Amino acid sequence: MTAFPQDTASHDADIRPAGPEDIGPALDMLLAAQTSRQASTLGPCERLAMHDHLVREIVPGDDASPGLFVAVEGGHVIAAVSLTERPGRVLQMSVPVVAAEENRTVVAPLLDAALDSPRVRAARLVQVLSQPDRQFEHLALVSAGFEQGSELLYLLCPQTTLTGDGCASEASRDVQNADTVARLEFATIDPLQVEPRHQRLIAATYEGSLDCPALAGARDIDDEIASYRGADEFVHRDWFVVRHNARDIGCLLLAAQADTRFWEIVYVGLIPDVRGRGWGRRLVRKAMDVAAAAGARGIVLGVDANNRPAVNMYGACGFVRWERRLVYLFVPT
């Protein structure tokens, strides 16, 4: 059993995969934690929609591969943690939630049970997104075997900025040479049938990348592409290979989110020997043009906070920060 560093008192809770009688209370706890910052602004219809989303995402696990684990004491669910399957053999684990402070002693065995489940053993990677400055969550996850990865910044380019020229003008000021006006071609590729040479191109853009280096080598390229392809949350995808002088030099992977009119830059990358020429802004400008033409409300993306060149580039293009999270990673053995 994992030794939890702060709360070592004994407990009498039953740690188990959620049974039918546990699912409702457990999902209510997870929903309350998920909406804690905005609960006062959520109406009943919005809360019901989020609850239905949790049911679809988490409950499909069966007895052989449960996706929801609970701690039950005195007939009441006092703690819960969920496992959601993502494309690319990734599991998204929720931050463990407890009904009250005195229930924290069950978090360590609850995480042990979840991480020892068949669903985790079949995955290549388990990740948790936690808010910064949550010391209890940090200690619990690290004690369970997670490593703290990157700090992710979630950025938004609002609709009013999509049609501006700030991105292009910044590139022109920063790079006063022929590279600024170099002809870049954007060739559309099919996300469902990525050719081997394009797989190799995407892999080549990872070399020397400052974005989430802790993930380097954690998955093979097939799993990476599957994760970019996403699942039902994307209703449309525009994927581009970027070419210069008949040579593949980068990629731009875009997707439109379901139930919203926001687009997402799922991944953007250049191979090492063409970086530093201002071309990254050219790719972002292309993304803004595509989203604007589709009538998007804006573009969202996630970027490693330590990737200062990328953060600065997005800022120059009109992106603003709206959220940040710490990434914790667990690689099943």
Which DSSP letter does residue 104 get? G
User: Which residues of the chain form beta strands (DSSP E)?
Assistant: 14-17, 68-73, 76-86, 90-93, 97-98, 125-130, 147-158, 185-189, 234-244, 247-257, 262-270, 298-304, 320-330
Gap between the Cα atoms of 318 and 324, Å rounded: 18
Helix (H/G/I), strand (E/B), else coil: 123: coil
Task: Tell me the pLDDT tens digit for each residue of 60-82.
Answer: 555 555 789 999 999 999 999 99
Average pLDDT score over residue span 36-64? 52
pLDDT at residue 9 greater than cutoff 50? no
Of the ranges 75-79, 178-182, 279-283, 326-330, which one carries the lowest mean pLDDT score?
Answer: 178-182
Residue whose C-alpha is closest to residue 136's, from 104, 158, 159: 104
What is the DSSP secondary-structure string of 206-246? Answer: TTT--S-GGGTTSS-HHHHHHHHH-STTEEEEEEEEEEETT
Q: CA 224 → CA 86, 88, 116, 204, distances in Å?
A: 11, 6, 24, 13
Same domain, yes or no, for 161 and 141? no
Q: Which pLDDT band holds residue 40 (cuts at 50, 70, 90)?
A: very low
Domain boundary among 112, 145, 178: 145
Task: Tell me the pLDDT tens digit for each residue of 158-177.
Answer: 988 887 665 654 444 444 44
Structure confidence at residue 144 (pLDDT): 96
Same domain, yes or no, for 306 and 164? yes
Structure tokens at 19: 């049974």
Same domain, yes or no, for 318 and 184? yes
CATH of the domain at 267: 3.40.630.30
Q: Would residue 132 count as lying in a domain?
A: yes
Q: Would residue 4 count as lying in a domain?
A: no
Q: Which pLDDT band holds residue 48 (cuts at 50, 70, 90)?
A: low
Average pLDDT score over residue span 44-62? 55
Domain boundary among 99, 115, 145: 145
Average pLDDT score over residue span 101-123? 93
Q: Which domain holds residue 157?
A: 153-324
**Could you give the number of structural domains in the chain?**
2
How many Cα atoms are found within 13 Å in the side-chain-facing hemisphere of 248?
Answer: 19
Structure confidence at residue 172 (pLDDT): 42
Average pLDDT score over residue span 251-270? 89
